[in-house]
Amino acid sequence: MAMSSAVTQQQPDAWYAALLGLAEHFRTSNPPNVKHCVHCLQTVFAFKPPPSIEARTHLQIGTVLSNHTKNIDLALSHLDRAVSVFCCCCFTGFCFLFAIISSH
């Protein structure tokens, strides 16, 4: 755990870009290596990313699963989670802005 938090604090975009690139490599391989692609994307969650990256990663996993597997239930669960995280993030931001505006 200490290693991942140290990496996150030093270069917050580097780990995400590296995992995304690796996942894309596996996805575009011939034939696609969906298992490794999904593992790379799931590793993003170990770094406790901000909600926007978490939502996007769930969206990417759901899309890969729906396009390359027959596991529609798992794909839908990731897509649902993406929407939930995104809506929560937007709602929190909206509430914060509303609080600032209403205090003036």
Tally of domains in the chain? 1
Q: Would you say the pTM of this structure is higher than 0.75?
A: no
Residue 96: which CATH number? 1.25.40
**Percentage of the residues of the chain whose pLDDT score is greater than 70:** 73
Distance CA 42, CA 34 (A): 12
Mean pLDDT within 55-67: 92
What own/partner pairs with CB < 8 Å and gap ≥ 24 does 93-101 have? none
Tokens in use for 78? 């990731």
pLDDT at 26 over 90: yes
Least confidently predicted of 6-20, 33-47, 55-69: 6-20
Structural domain that includes position 99? 2-103
